[in-house]
A and B are shown apart, each in its own frame.
Chain A
Amino acid sequence: MPMKNRFITFSLILLLIGILLFLGNLIFNKQSNQTLINPDGKTLLQQITKQTVSPTPTPSPTPIEYNFDKTTDLKKEIETINPEVLDSDFDNLKATVSKL
């Protein structure tokens, strides 16, 4: 078989494969669009489109205006800052859990 014919045959075969893959992909995508899929390919989040919930808005604290001036002892002011997570913050939760 001459080189030219061989090339045309191969091209046609490849074109056919391409068309088949395209059609297959089209059908596959139609099915997969019914659910949301995460990048791992696992089905996830099937229900979220049905009903969504919004978190209850919680009020932020009113910002305190600090009126520092040149006479303020900043070293002293900085020592008053003491961010802490207290065990007492979790007391109510512990009481609730103890009922379970």
Chain B
Amino acid sequence: MTVLAAIRPTGWDFPLFLHVLGAMVLVGGLVTAVGMQASAWMRREPGELLAYSRGGFWALLTVALPGWVLMRVGAEWIRSKEGWTGDNDPTWLGIGYILADAGFVVLLVTILLAGLGVRRVRKQGATANLLGRIATPLATILLIAYLVAVWAMTAKPD
């Protein structure tokens, strides 16, 4: 790993920068969303519930989703530069792909649930956001999965 890092061609640096920056923004967006949604979970007052639920939804939509796109674009760019064809891909690359792509589906479902939850709370003045409560563990699982991806990308298990 030390040798690999030392001999990494300079042409890989910028795509790697975009990939890592996107992943960091994605994780930051998920941390924010989980914090907001967990706070909404503990509230009964409609105004408080709506404010936290909205915060969770917007963190997912405006931070986590663009972060995922940047991370994925950077990943594909650097993959093309490294010359992986799909036949001889190492395990860590496979872990990254599975977590990124399966995670995207979960992310979209989470955003949808969080958005519908906000809409319901706003219309009905509810004291609990059931859809938001389903979205909270999903966002938490995503956060854990992407931290596992960080491990796979850095430790690069065979």
A binds B: no
